[in-house]
Structure 1
């Protein structure tokens, strides 16, 4: 998936009215938020299926630890993404330490920057031991400069936040909500980083790829505050191939779902992509390749890909 296909989809969605307001009355937005909730807490080891999540959201009575974590994540993300949507509508971007701390608090943690050394489980990377707030301020400045090579720098910013690991707990969930806050503020839908074993391995590989490029960054400033300008230059030189690819693919799925919903609202009928392309002379193998490469806007329902006739024709021109 390349960024040109994402930008083309974004342009089409903007013509159709842009991303919808993040309210639970919008079924597509609710679906994305529920799926993000389930997958984000799954990355942290909490499993909850779709039916169970819908039940506890309706009754709002969490019982198990996984249900409790799901409720906190859903409510936090819903509120924060509402703020991001207002950024998008007003063409402003509000981003700073109060927002970051509040997200961590809403998720059930203390929202205070740690004052002790911490180890990230499963990694060799060592987060900074000192000057945590100063490092977070560098992260904030970097986020404000994402426009150049947006998707690469967005991916680097996410990894950089996780490397700082500013809180004693909840850094993964806080970081993923921040990632989507930035996307929504820029008129993109939220992305779902899946919590399946395979996707999680790719996600961690993407973070590790960036960790390796920044491996000596924190030791260089172990006993002195970070030099903001030097660190920002280092971040801008960092490449995020694996993580960027994962985010772009997730973004493609969310964009396609919202675009297809807009076409359905216009009265267009969803049909299997295989049938639509067969009518245009494409073989099943060609159809699979077109979907895989993102040349077709489509949504997967159970095991079948669906689109509309006009959408298929539009992207095959």
Structure 2
């Protein structure tokens, strides 16, 4: 059902808008979901829009298709998501926002209030590849979708602790989770801005139990939305067949 839904143009637009709005809002973007929709669907710039906030949401118009492209390429070539593809996702989502888009950090960075140090710059490629390898092992060892979901969520903890870029780590990390949900035919989820405090608390504590509960609740919301779009598409097809 998921892959069929991703071929539904309206669902994909809806998902893109919501991902752009909520993921950037978690990072401080103040644009509303309606304003985000205007930018992504119509290329319209709402009055008094901050230039940075405009590009933060607009970039999702290009990054979601790229994720789907990577999925198809990797599926056809029997490959997995790699570090170069992650850098390319960063380059797109941070376009017009930072000069070193698509490049790993070259100076150390910190997460405010964190009780750990992020990966040193020279260790980022190694740690990131280890994260991907470990996730692949966990996915292959999983007995069901629940265990696969746990592995994907755990990898998000690892990614944020590596913090491979000087900016945009949260956005890229959430995009990577989206990619792995698609790859494993698991319903994706959009962490909403209203859940920012809970989400940040989960990350600080690496609380897998709470993260899984949050993700499962969000998957239910996404699944209901997905089914509505598929039902609308089916209804259109039926009406079209009667007109022939």
Give the TM-score normalised by the residue count of structure 2.
Answer: 0.80
What is aligned with 2:160? 162
Report the Cα offset of residue 191 of structure 1: 1.4
Partner SS, residue 94 of structure 1: coil
Q: Which residue of 1 aligns with 2:135?
A: 143
**Conserved in 2, the CA contact under 8 Å of 1:22 and 1:78?**
no
Q: Which residue of 2 aligns with 1:207?
A: 203
Query: In 1, Cα distance between the equivalents of 2:155 and 2:223?
Result: 22
| Structure 1 Cα separation of the partners of residues 77 and 137 of structure 2 | 16
Q: Which residue of 2 aligns with 1:115?
A: 106
By how many angstroms is 1:266 displaced?
A: 4.6
Contact 1:80-1:181 within 8 A present in 2 as well: yes
Which residue number corresponds to residue 37 of structure 2? 54
Mean alpha-carbon deviation: is it higher for 51-60 or for 176-185? Answer: 51-60
CA distance in 1, matches of 2:87, 2:21: 22
Looking at structure 2, the residues matched to 69 and 143 of structure 1 have their Cα atoms a distance apart, in angstroms, of 28
Which of 85, 103, 118 lines up with 1:99 in the alignment? 85
Cα gap change, 1:20/1:188 in structure 2, threshold over 3 Å: closer, same or farther?
same
Distance 1:245 1:45, change over 3 A: same
> 2:70, 2:81 within 8 Å by CA — same for their partners in 1?
no
Corresponding residue of 2:241? none
TM superposition shift of 1:155: 0.7
Report if the CA contact (8 A) 2:10-2:229 is conserved: no
- Residue by residue, what CA displacement relative to the aligned partner does 1:25-57 show, whole Å, maximum 9, x if unpaired? 622222122111100000100022222122222
* RMSD over aligned Cα atoms: 2.5
Which string of whole-angstrom CA distances, capped at 9 and with x for unpartnered residues, describes residues 50-89 of structure 1? 221222224425552212210013321232134325656x
Per-residue deviation, 1:259: 2.4
User: TM-score under structure 1 normalisation?
Assistant: 0.63
- Which one is further off, 161-170 or 148-157? 148-157
Contact 1:93 1:185 in 2 (8 A): no
Q: CA 1:186–1:93 in structure 2 vs 1: closer, same or farther (change >3 Å)?
A: farther
> Unaligned stretches of 5+ in structure 1?
1-12, 211-238, 268-317
When Rg is computed on C-alpha atoms for both structures, the one with the higher figure is: 1
Q: Deviations for 1:102-123, whole angstroms, at most 9, x for unmatched residues?
A: 1111122422222322111243
Cα distance change on mapping 1:87 and 1:190 into 2, 3 Å:
farther
Contact 1:21/1:85 (CA < 8 Å) preserved in 2?
no
2:227 aligned with 1:259: yes
> Partners of 2:159 and 2:31 in 1: how far apart?
26
Deviations 1:232-273 (A, max 9, x none): xxxxxxx71111111222122112222233344455xxxxxx
Distance 1:266 1:133, change over 3 A: closer
Q: Which runs of 5+ in 2 are unaligned?
A: 236-244
1:247 aligns with 2:233: no
Q: Write out per-residue CA displacement over residues 144-186 of structure 1, whole angstroms, 9 at most, x where no aligned residue.
A: 1232221111111011101100111111111111110111111
Question: In the TM superposition, what is the alpha-carbon distance from 1:95 to its structure 2 partner?
Answer: 1.0
- In 1, distance between residues paired with 2:233 and 2:39? 29
Aligned residues between the structures: 220
CA distance in 2, matches of 1:96, 1:87: 9
